[in-house]
Structure 1
Amino acid sequence: MTSDRIRTSSAHPAMTAAGVNHVLLTYHYLDIGDMDGYASFTETDVTLDHPGAPLRRGREAVLRAHTAQASPLRRHELDTVIADGETIVALGRVVHSAPDAAGRTPAGTDFADVFTLSGQTLVRACRRYYYAPPPGPQPPSGS
């Protein structure tokens, strides 16, 4: 990700920048399957709130949830990171590079993660939102 895709606004820019780096590293460690590396950037009382899954509280529960999803064929591709103080929002896609039964490679799923950081710039909470088209009929493309 290029630095022009990261926007920050804070009274403490150095702490916000450190928090952004920590969030970026959590994605890196998840993508390579290094759960100890991931854990090093989280608070012991971290929470993880993903759609369709129970709320996870505490580092051990969060690590178990991530370990269950870990795969060398799964990665996060970030488009934009926006930071303001202890809140960081990352927009991107979760991409699975394994082909399906028909030999097609899935394109991925768009997401927005909202992180809350502690005073030590560690992840205190992460809440994920997935993109879904609105219900009902869709307008014809090109409209």
Structure 2
Amino acid sequence: MDGGRARSGLRVDATLAAAVDHVRLCYDYLDSGDIDGCLSLFEPGARSVVTGSSADLPERVERLLESGARAHHAVVEVFGSDRRLAAVGRLTVDGEAYDFVDVFRVSDRALLIDRQRFVSPGPPTGSPPPDGRIS
């Protein structure tokens, strides 16, 4: 390897690569109900890491999550640069699907600092794949 300098014309950043793994693992933990596991991927004192505020999620989705409804995140792609990552996917809660983009800030230790979520205002018009997984 070239010491992390370049591969196929792109700079390889080991911290960002590890953080991509942390983002994907975060969704696995959330979907399995392992909140402590999810929190372990964030810096201490991170804000709004598990659920969104009313500005982040449509009101119905927030009510469903608060009631204990199971959620499933089907992540299509995680990408980023510098110390920011974006995860694009579909959130399914109680049978209703919503497209989402989560933007994370990443620390120098590859831990997540915070998350800002953007969610479609209603279920998408296209149907998800038969198995419910996008990636």
Q: 1:122 to 1:70 in 2, by over 3 A?
A: farther
Equivalent residues in 2 for 1:24-63 (5 A)? 24-48=24-48, 50=52, 52=54
Shift of 1:112: 0.6
Tell me if structure 2 keeps the 8 A contact 1:81–1:90: yes
- For the aligned residue pairs, the C-alpha RMSD in angstroms reads 2.7
Distance 1:33 1:80 in 2: 22
Distance 1:70 1:42 in 2: 22
Shift of 1:85: 2.4
Q: Which has the larger radius of gyration?
A: 1
Shift of 1:51: 5.0
Cα distance per residue 1:32-60 (max 9 Å; x no partner):
01111111101112112835159xxxxxx
Aligned residues: 104
Q: Does 1:119 align with 2:108?
A: yes
TM-score when normalising by structure 2: 0.66
Distance 2:22 2:118 in 1: 20
Match for residue 22 of structure 2? 22
- For structure 2, list consecutive stretches of 5 or more residues without a partner in the other structure: 1-8, 57-64, 123-135
Equivalent residues in 2 for 1:63-102 (5 A)? 68=66, 71=69, 73-96=70-93, 98=94
Shift of 1:19: 0.6
Q: 1:69 to 1:42 in 2, by over 3 A?
A: farther
Aligned AA (2:40): S
Q: SS of the residue aligned with 2:48?
A: strand
TM-score when normalising by structure 1: 0.63
- For structure 1, list consecutive stretches of 5 or more residues without a partner in the other structure: 1-8, 55-66, 99-104, 134-143
Distance 2:68 2:87 in 1: 19
Match for residue 5 of structure 1? none
Match for residue 120 of structure 2? 131
Match for residue 6 of structure 1? none
Distance 2:17 2:75 in 1: 16
